[in-house]
Amino acid sequence: MRKSAPDLGGYSDPMRVLVVDDDEDLRFSVVAALRSDGLAVDEAADLPAADEALFVTAYDCAVFDRGLPSGDALDYVRELRRSGRNVPVLFLTARDEVADRVDGFAAGGDDYLVKPFAAPELIARVRNLCRRSGGVRPTTTRVGDLEVDAARRQVRRAGVLLPLTAKEFALLELLAARPDEAVPRGELIEKCWDEMAEPNSNVVEVLVSQLRRKLGDPPLIHTVRGVGYRLAADPHAAPAG
């Protein structure tokens, strides 16, 4: 008899963020900070590029600088809301007057962070908005003796805390969200890397190999030939679904 999958309580996939800013240096620092925390991040330098990205990709959050060469992001987000698109929006701007913040919320923004800012606060605010879009996450998901704590971003096996990188955690988090299910390789790249990742590279294989070493024996991540990988305590159990 197939074992029932654990109750995931609305567990969602790793988070994907769009950063829109024409200042290349600032955009680089914002993108780097978010990626360092395991988020998949795409970037755009103007509103037309942002509009195209939002049309083709479902983001958990979008970070907009207000003053862009192609217009005020405030007006763009207002139109975004009128069209029925509800991606959470964080305005990142040097405009620090109360009236500016009020205008941002009135236009449909969900949060407002004034420059200069601390990277940990930016990450915390972005993750908070991502959780709103993805639903409530459980404190811990268990697969066999493996525990994946999404809130604390910690992984334990048999009670032992494992030192994972942000990217390793993101990939494991995605697999743990769908235990016993084969997750396609292409989906792992889409959800855990940004749009610059090369689909034909071996980034997934390298990361899975690293994870397997850290997770130890018996193996929990299993290769599904021609498809991708699945996380399962029993490799011989019937696939979920």
Q: How far apart are CA 178 and CA 8, in angstroms?
A: 9
What is the chain's pLDDT, residue by residue, as a tens digit (241 residues)?
223 333 333 344 567 899 999 999 999 999 999 988 888 899 999 999 999 888 878 888 999 998 888 888 999 999 888 887 889 999 988 888 888 888 888 889 999 999 889 999 999 999 888 877 654 445 578 888 999 887 677 899 998 999 988 888 888 988 888 888 888 888 888 777 766 556 567 888 999 999 999 999 999 999 998 889 999 987 666 555 4
Complete DSSP assignment for 166-233: HHHHHHHHHHHHSTTSPEEHHHHHHHHS-TTS-TTSSHHHHHHHHHHHHH-SS--EEEETTTEEEE-S
C-alpha distances in Å from residue 170, one per residue of 38, 40, 175, 194, 241: 6, 9, 9, 12, 23
Q: Which residue ranges form the domains of the chain, and what is each CATH number?
A: 16-134 (3.40.50.2300), 141-231 (1.10.10.10)
Q: What is the pLDDT of residue 151?
A: 67
E strand or H helix at 16: strand 16-20
**0.85 cut: is pTM over it?**
no
Q: Is 75 left (phi over 0), alpha (psi -120 to 50) or beta?
A: alpha
* Gap between the Cα atoms of 26 and 72, Å rounded: 17
Radius of gyration over alpha carbons of the chain, in Å? 19
Q: What 3-state DSSP class applies to 127? A: helix
User: According to the model, what pLDDT value does residue 2 have?
Assistant: 28
